Amino acid sequence: MPGRGSILVADDEESLRLVLEAALMKAGFDVDTVDNGADAVRKIQEKNYEVALLDIRMPKLDGLEAFYQIHGLLPDLPVILMTAFGSAEVAVEAMKRGAFDYLPKPFNLEEVKILVERAIHMRVLAQEVEYLTLEVQTLSVGVNGLCKLVGTSPKVQEVYKSIGRVAETKATVLLTGESGTGKGLVAKSIHYNSDRWEKPFVQVNCGAIPEGLLESELFGHEKGAFTGAVSQRMGKFELAEGGTLFLDEIGEMSLALQVKLLRVLQEKQFERVGGSQTFSANVRVIAATNRDLSKEIAENRFRSDLYYRLNVIPVHLPPLRERGGDIRLLAEYFLRRFSLEMGRVKIAFSPEVLELFMQYAWPGNVRELENAVEHALIMSNSAIILPENLPANLFEEEVGEIQASQDTYLAQPLREILAFTEKASIAQALERTNGNRAQAARLLQISRRALIYKIQEYQLV
């Protein structure tokens, strides 16, 4: 049950403000109300709130613009938009830019309370979810170090929401996405945010174990079950009893073994290889794959009945190229982490390196970015990470493009060079903030009015 906190309600309709205030206070929340968007932004700057509810149509500053300003100030604050008939499309667009959810009017007060509590829970999850603490490390299998999900982009927020929805259930989960997108971290997050967190989290990479040994790895074996089985051995299902079994790269599993896994999921029972004793399996299964299992089924490489059994709750992890706003955030997170490990302080990326990070497609996703940052820190002997410190095979083309651009600049008048640079910087700031002008102005360290003038001057609309 999430803890209670302060809620801000902004609506120009006094009767609705009073009704919401009474209902939320009865539920144990501290509630402040305002009647316009400008006051909502001011209150957010003055006090810490757990959730803000904003009506879209308000005087002085409408709810949508108020949301954009609030999101620029506090990206992790859940904002719920209240919409009249016909404005739902606007609210959905706002959700794409980071709003938590929307409530179409008229709404049920119980629905409001549930949505507010869910928003608080999701905020805690997004800010503080840590898959391993020092205590939890001793309970997990094959996991070292402290891991965190990092990101505030809308697609990652959807992943956070999915984790929150499924963590407290017993449902089987199927994680999909390209290699390096963080499927293992999400699996750990689901486990350590569930009521199984004190029990083991056991991971098996189905693609890294030879087919002939994977059955024994999963179910264990009796002494003499096959050549080399010199003693009895427990399998991963037994080791994960009461906890979670994470089957990574499930698409690599043979059809014969898929049948046996299906039986465990259906009947919650299994036998060791070479044994006759039946064991119960009180285990939550989370599976992951970077393959298109629908295509694998069509080509008779994956069983459709197993797919439906695994795909009770699907969670898709977006590739890094679709999380542009998170690239810098992730890079700086990895830089801080590796800097601490290496005993180096006050290390920063040069603007050119950050530009390269934003331009690169990252086919290896978050894992590739992590490796690139570690490589750069090792190769750097100063307080600034420079382009030449990056892995050459990754950035040769991008470095060449930047050098070519620099050579082109030298052949142009200074005024044109400055205008080109200014326009590019503004366009990039708007892209990184998803068009949020207030946030872009802060990134550029200019006033919002000056930014609007420049947008009009350079026709960036």
Residue showing tokens 């200014």: 422
Domain 136-316 classification at class level: alpha beta
User: What is the arrangement of strands in the sheet containing 201-205, beginning at the earlier edge strand?
Assistant: 201-205, 244-248, 284-289, 173-176, 313-316
3-state SS class at 9:
strand
Topology of domain 321-457, CATH: Helicase, Ruva Protein; domain 3 (1.10.8)
In CATH terms, are 136-316 and 321-457 the same topology? no
Topology of domain 6-126, CATH: Rossmann fold (3.40.50)
CA distance 282 to 197: 14
Are the C-beta atoms of residues 223 and 232 closer than 8 Å to each other? Answer: yes
Please, which residues have CB within 8 angstroms of residue 338's CB and are 6 or more apart in sequence?
373, 374, 377
- Which residue stretches of 2-36 are H helix? 14-26
CA distance 155 to 390: 28
Q: Which two tokens stand for residue 373?
A: 């940052």
Cross-strand pairs, 349? 385
Q: How far is CA 134 from the centre of its chain?
A: 23
* Per-residue pLDDT in tens (0 to 9) along the chain, 461 residues: 344 789 999 999 999 999 999 999 998 899 999 999 999 999 998 888 999 999 988 888 888 889 989 988 888 889 998 887 555 567 667 777 778 888 888 888 888 998 898 888 777 665 544 333 333 332 232 333 334 677 878 888 888 888 888 888 889 999 999 999 999 999 998 998 888 988 999 999 998 888 778 999 999 988 888 877 778 888 999 999 999 999 999 999 999 999 999 999 999 999 999 888 889 889 999 999 999 999 999 999 999 999 999 999 999 999 999 887 789 889 988 998 898 888 887 788 888 888 889 888 899 999 999 999 999 999 988 788 888 889 877 665 554 444 444 444 444 555 665 676 677 778 777 877 777 888 888 777 787 777 887 887 777 76
Domain ranges for the chain: 6-126, 136-316, 321-457
Are the C-beta atoms of residues 123 and 78 closer than 8 Å to each other? Answer: yes
- Concatenate the DSSP letters of all residues of 102-160 into one string: EEESS--HHHHHHHHHHHHHHHHHHHH-BS--HHHHTTSSS--S--B----SHHHHHHH
Output the CA–CA distances (angstroms, integers) from residue 131 to 75, 137, 149, 202, 225, in the order listed. Answer: 22, 9, 9, 13, 37
3-state SS class at 284:
strand
**Strand segments (E) across 281-326:** 284-289, 313-316
CA distance 126 to 148: 10
Element (H, E) at 166: helix 154-167
Residues 258-262: contacts with CB within 8 Å, 24+ apart? 258/302, 258/303, 258/306, 259/303, 260/215, 260/219, 261/218, 261/306, 262/303, 262/305, 262/306, 262/309
